[in-house]
Structure 1
Amino acid sequence: MPDRPDQPDRTDRPRRPLSVVVAGGGTAGHIEPALALADAVRRLRPDARVTALGTARGLETTLVPKRGYPLELVPPVPLPRKPSKDLAALPWRIVRSVRRTRQVLREVDANVVVGFGGYVALPAYLAARLPGTRMPVVVHEANATAGIANKVGARHAAAVAAAVPGSGLDGPVIGIPLRRAITGLDREALRAKARAHFGLDPDAPTLLVFGGSQGARSLNEAVAGAAGALARAGIGVLHAHGPKNSVEVEAVRGAPPYVAVPYLERMDLAYAAADLTICRSGAMTVAEVSAVGLPAIYVPLPHGNGEQRLNALPVVEHGGGLLVEDAELTPEKVAELVVPLLTSGERLSAMSVGARRTGHADADETLARMVLDAAEGDR
């Protein structure tokens, strides 16, 4: 049957540019996956516009503009776990933040909201459900146990993905979206350049120590206390102690350098320089360390809900790392574990293979395709 002349052909109408809003502010563990996802969306759809939601007090005020994405600020909605004044003020905070978030979604003509948990995810999920701004939501859970915001968002989400099994959310396990500088890292090819960059011995087995962006006092004290034993074993150390901490280590003549720095701007080079790492086991740390195939001694935070231990377990079960409780990490324990590992190339190689087995180098594009599918359904 021929088309009626009074009915215009809708396929000739220009389509509005694809607009994606990512909600992952607060900590690097929320922001970095959001930015990796943004990069992947841009690779797959160069015409797409990606806007980040954040708060004025989060790391996103620095990280997002540095990566070239517009940042829209909304009032944070921290979710208190115990009765308090903050809990009493929660309804008003949610209303205020949802109002502002809804305004942003309208201004950028959003097609889809992608949430990664944290202070800005809950208002983003709620704003996306309101009449007049209703649009699909995609939820990514990075941790071994889903947070409250993501549990709320997942109820009406178009798609849900998780980093590891058992998070409590239904959806495929895809890993955590990571920067291509990490997933494409060739540690062996960069090793000489990386060690020269940090002033490390070019040939000595090397230990990398870091406790997140702020450092970790128990890691600092244990590894610094083992410095003499490591030096005598011919082991070099690259130690990021945190900007508010310091590490004092006596140099041992003839031994590889012990290089202590407040912060590591080039984590890719730090991973390339190392043969083994001692670190916390936050979701992003575990994802990056396993993706690059770096053997690890994971020391979970001693407080919280045990989430960090759960993050590291899949890697440990595949032979890519060891778990040590924070209270057990002494200088003696460091020497007892590190010296045999770094003097056994065969075991390190096996651990590297085990670590890579749990990594997900393509999580960014997997999630990006889920997001684009959800967005196209809104157009």
Structure 2
Amino acid sequence: MRIVVSGGGTGGHIYPALALIREIKKQVKEAEFLYIGTEQGLESTLVKREEIPFKTVHITGFKRKISPENLKTVWRFISGVSKSKAILREFKADVVIGTGGYVCGPVVYAASKMGIPTIIHEQNSVPGLTNKFLSKYVDKVATCFEEAASFFPKEKVVLTGNPRASEVLNQDGIKGRLSVGLKLKDPCVLIVGGSRGARPINDAVIAALPSLGKKPYQVLYVTGEAHYESVKKEVALVGNPSNVIIKPFVHNMPEVLTNMDLTVARAGATTLSELTSLGIPSILIPSPYVTNNHQEKNAQSLTTNGAAKMLLEKELDGTKLVEEIDTIMLQKEVLHNMKAASKKLGMPDAAIRLYDVMKEVVNKRKQQK
């Protein structure tokens, strides 16, 4: 089977794609892959690192306000469709899967017009413009949140979860804790603002350090590499409690995440899929700087189901952060109930589910022929 995967721009689109590819390789040894992205996007680095054949098309997104740039985007889309058709024809693709980002537009659209089976995967509770557009042309739409279904043709939607969720299972949590200097017996809270960190979260944690130092739990605080040096200077002024370990970045996050009791984080789709797969409760601080405010909608989904508490960035300060953490960590029944609710939402078999959807689409198209 010859499979084309396309997704780009952010890790939220790329990591699920790579997780799916790894799962299919386990299931179908002879499967061949081609990844189509952009040269400027993060995918050009991450995909090449995985030694997956990689081709590019040039595309940009539409401006939400009237702009001359949109005319250029239309032209780039038309050119991208033409180039995508040539790539797909040369590769002899059996199926095309889009995991989000502008690059999926011309690639998946071209495949649908060529009669190649197509699937898009939507990670968020509120889809972007590209997936809304493509949903009219693809065979199936795989989703991670039930709330996303209302944006797509009902008959095409399948709830699969995020393939990334499958990759955090069966990790060595003890090894993960020891690798970052955490004690094995004491409960632990992970505070992280994403791979690059988040200044408002860092400010709140620094203000909270004196109070956190008196707690019966330990804290792993990941600043993001871009903020680490400035955070260290500020921490030097207030003091670093012995139960708070500060790191710029954690390279083995799946291992470390496995043994956490509570996580304070943004509400990106990949993060939430990992947390629910492991049954970890969370305090979610949605980024207000994302399209359609989708992180707040993602967080609301978990909050409604009792798996998380949401703290808006505009309400965030050191005192409020500690209060929210204590409400969960110092009440065993609350912590237990939130863990159970998180686990109930998890879809650890998401990669297999999406692979099964792919097989169904391909087989159905073969039967129609």
* TM-score, normalised relative to structure 1: 0.88
**Corresponding residue for residue 330 of structure 2:** 343
Q: Does 1:222 align with 2:209?
A: no
RMSD, aligned α-carbons: 2.1
- Structure 2 residue matching 1:360: 3-state secondary structure: coil
Q: Does 1:265 align with 2:247?
A: no
Q: Which runs of 5+ in 2 are unaligned?
A: none
- Structure 1 residue matching 2:219: 3-state secondary structure: strand
**Corresponding residue for residue 279 of structure 2:** 293
**Corresponding residue for residue 135 of structure 1:** 116
**Corresponding residue for residue 152 of structure 1:** 133
Which of 346, 352, 357 is the matching residue for 2:344?
A: 357
> Letter of the aligned partner of 1:97 in structure 2?
G
> Letter of the aligned partner of 1:336 in structure 2?
E
Deviations 1:38-72 (A, max 9, x none): 12222222211121111112221222233342221
> Letter of the aligned partner of 2:30 in structure 1?
D
> Letter of the aligned partner of 1:127 in structure 2?
A
Report deviation, 1:142.
1.1
Q: Does 1:76 align with 2:59?
A: yes
Mean Cα deviation higher: 352-361 or 333-342: 333-342
Report deviation, 1:252.
9.1
Mean Cα deviation higher: 282-291 or 233-242: 233-242
State how many pairs are aligned: 356
**Corresponding residue for residue 279 of structure 1:** 265
Matched-pair contact (CA < 8 Å) for 2:210–2:239: no
Mean Cα deviation higher: 118-127 or 339-348: 339-348
* Mapping for residues 29-48 of structure 1, pairs under 5 Å: 29-48=12-31
Matched-pair contact (CA < 8 Å) for 1:77–1:97: no
- Structure 2 residue matching 1:232: 3-state secondary structure: coil
**Corresponding residue for residue 195 of structure 1:** 177
Deviations 1:10-30 (A, max 9, x none): xxxxxxxx1111111111110
**Corresponding residue for residue 101 of structure 2:** 118
Deviations 1:346-374 (A, max 9, x none): 32222111101111111111111111222
| Structure showing the higher helix proportion among its residues | 2
Which of 181, 201, 206 is the matching residue for 2:167?
A: 181
Report deviation, 1:255.
5.0
Matched-pair contact (CA < 8 Å) for 2:209–2:238: no
Q: From the superposition, tell whether residues 261 and 336 of structure 1 become closer, same or farther in structure 2 (CA, over 3 Å).
A: same
- Structure 2 residue matching 1:161: 3-state secondary structure: strand
- Structure 1 residue matching 2:40: 3-state secondary structure: coil
Deviations 1:261-310 (A, max 9, x none): 22221111221242111111011111111111111000111244231121
Q: Which runs of 5+ in 1 are unaligned?
A: 1-17
> Letter of the aligned partner of 1:366 in structure 2?
R
**Corresponding residue for residue 163 of structure 1:** 144
- Structure 2 residue matching 1:30: 3-state secondary structure: helix
Which of 234, 254, 271 is the matching residue for 2:216?
A: 234
Matched-pair contact (CA < 8 Å) for 2:165–2:350: no
Q: Aligned partners of 1:144, 1:201: CA distance in 2, in Å?
A: 36
Q: Aligned partners of 1:280, 1:85: CA distance in 2, in Å?
A: 34
Could you say which structure has the larger radius of gyration?
Answer: 1
Report deviation, 1:116.
1.6
- Structure 2 residue matching 1:47: 3-state secondary structure: coil
Q: Percent identity?
A: 31
Deviations 1:101-129 (A, max 9, x none): 22221221101111122121101122113
- Structure 1 residue matching 2:101: 3-state secondary structure: coil
Report deviation, 1:316.
1.5
Deviations 1:190-233 (A, max 9, x none): 34322210012333322211122211111111112111111111
> Letter of the aligned partner of 1:154 in structure 2?
S
Report deviation, 1:179.
5.4
Q: Aligned partners of 1:302, 1:99: CA distance in 2, in Å?
A: 36
> Letter of the aligned partner of 1:185 in structure 2?
N
Mean Cα deviation higher: 254-263 or 241-250: 254-263
Q: Does 1:316 align with 2:298?
A: no
Matched-pair contact (CA < 8 Å) for 1:318–1:357: no
Q: Aligned partners of 1:207, 1:357: CA distance in 2, in Å?
A: 21
Q: From the superposition, tell whether residues 237 and 181 of structure 1 become closer, same or farther in structure 2 (CA, over 3 Å).
A: same
Q: Aligned partners of 2:59, 2:188: CA distance in 1, in Å?
A: 41
> Letter of the aligned partner of 1:39 in structure 2?
R
Q: Aligned partners of 1:316, 1:179: CA distance in 2, in Å?
A: 19
Q: Does 1:85 align with 2:68?
A: yes
Which of 49, 53, 74 is the matching residue for 1:66?
A: 49
- Structure 2 residue matching 1:265: 3-state secondary structure: coil
* TM-score, normalised relative to structure 2: 0.90
Q: Does 1:372 align with 2:333?
A: no
Provide runs of 4+ in structure 1 moved above 6 Å.
251-254
